[in-house]
């Protein structure tokens, strides 16, 4: 059978309207930079991203979540001509945040003529079947966008540090420190691969700019605590890049951008 996830179509339409101009600007940019099969695959990834992320709750800054992967993909295009990195940028948060929707996309693509039934995957079910949903989601990404894109997404997807912290009975600041430390370690691992580093830099450059958030809010304080040491590690890594590194020619520009945000918002 095929599935239909319960979706608030009014909210989806409202979110799309908010970022419609951004979507059209992005379409123009990819049409200028890419052509042929590469352009077609990026356009497919854009539609895929919108389908899975427009139903998602807005970000802490009040913007539709889909605005984030759009911004990350634009940043990736400034740093690289690799179309697969642009595709990965568009869907880099899909498995982590919306594995249930990717699972349904896969099911319905493979079994399009079977009877459609409504499906309500609540948070408890998402947690219970998290591994199944993630594994099927990675397979869908591989089938649709190829091995390399799946590799990027596999490595960009954060591990479930929150559950690990809860299983260790950590609470409060101990729990947050545990999560932040392991997130920082994950970023360190990513920096060893030039293509993954490019993707993560684009993601970080969007995430670390907290200027639109209330600086006194709990979310702001939490994110500032999460990203401070990571920015420092990235700046240190940029200084050691070899001339043949993918990002070498842009390292000073990248460092200047990150340093400006760091000095204005994290010191």
pLDDT at residue 258 in the model: 97
When mean pLDDT is compared across 7-11, 123-127, 146-150, the lowest value belongs to 123-127
- N- to C-terminal Cα distance for the chain? 54
d(CA 25, CA 74): 10
Residue 62 has pLDDT above 90, yes or no: no
pLDDT band at 112 (very low <50, low <70, confident <90, very high): confident
pLDDT at residue 117 in the model: 75
Which domains, from first to last, does the chain contain?
1-157 (1.10.3210), 158-267 (no CATH)
d(CA 92, CA 148): 13
Q: What is the dihedral of CA 106, 111, 117, 119, to 10 degrees?
A: -20
Is residue 98 within 8 Å of residue 141, measured between CB atoms? no
Residue 126 CA to its chain's centroid (Å): 19
Q: Is 96 exposed, middle or buried (0-12, 13-18, 19+ CB in 10 A)?
A: middle
pLDDT at residue 160 in the model: 83
Average pLDDT score over residue span 115-141: 86
Identify any residues that bridge with 3 across adjacent strands, giving them in sequence order: 117
Q: What whole-number percentage of the chain has pLDDT above 70?
A: 99
Mean pLDDT of the chain: 93
Higher-confidence residue: 64 or 129? 64
Residue 115 has pLDDT above 80, yes or no: no
pLDDT at residue 31 in the model: 98
pLDDT at residue 119 in the model: 76
Radius of gyration of the chain (CA): 19
Q: What is the pTM of this model?
A: 0.94
pLDDT band at 111 (very low <50, low <70, confident <90, very high): confident
Residue 1 has pLDDT above 70, yes or no: no
Find, among 210, 204, 177, the residue nearest to 190 by Cα: 204
pLDDT at residue 144 in the model: 97
pLDDT band at 12 (very low <50, low <70, confident <90, very high): very high
pLDDT at residue 163 in the model: 81
Q: pLDDT, tens digit, for every residue of 148-182? A: 999 999 999 988 888 888 877 878 889 999 999 99
Q: pLDDT, tens digit, for every residue of 94-109? A: 999 999 999 999 988 8
What would the two tokens of residue 64 be?
A: 């539709």
Q: Which residue has the tokens 């998402």?
A: 126
Average pLDDT score over residue span 55-81: 95
């Amino acid at each position: 059978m095929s599935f239909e996830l319960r979706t608030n179509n009014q909210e989806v339409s409202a979110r799309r309207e908010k970022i419609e101009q951004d979507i059209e600007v992005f379409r123009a940019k990819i049409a200028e930079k890419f052509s042929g099969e590469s352009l077609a695959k990026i356009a497919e990834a854009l539609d895929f991203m919108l389908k899975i992320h427009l139903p998602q709750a807005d970000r802490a800054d009040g913007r539709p979540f889909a605005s984030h992967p759009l911004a990350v993909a634009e940043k990736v295009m400034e740093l690289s001509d690799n179309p697969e990195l642009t595709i990965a940028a568009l869907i880099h948060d899909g498995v982590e945040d919306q594995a249930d929707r990717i699972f349904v996309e896969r099911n319905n693509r493979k079994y399009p003529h079977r009877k459609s039934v409504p499906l309500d995957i609540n948070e408890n079910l998402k947690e219970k079947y998290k591994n199944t949903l993630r594994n099927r989601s990675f397979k869908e990404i591989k089938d649709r966008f190829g091995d390399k894109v799946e590799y990027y997404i596999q490595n960009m997807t954060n591990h479930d540090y929150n559950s690990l912290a809860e299983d260790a009975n950590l609470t409060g600041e101990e729990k947050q420190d545990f999560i932040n430390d392991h997130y920082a370690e994950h970023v360190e691992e990513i920096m060893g691969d030039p293509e993954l580093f490019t993707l993560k830099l684009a993601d970080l450059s969007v995430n670390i700019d907290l200027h639109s958030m209330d600086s006194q809010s709990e979310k702001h304080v939490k994110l500032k605590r999460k990203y401070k040491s990571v920015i420092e590690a990235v700046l240190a890594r940029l200084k050691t890049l070899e001339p043949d590194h993918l990002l070498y020619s842009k390292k000073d520009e990248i460092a200047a951008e990150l340093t400006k945000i760091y000095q204005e918002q994290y010191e």
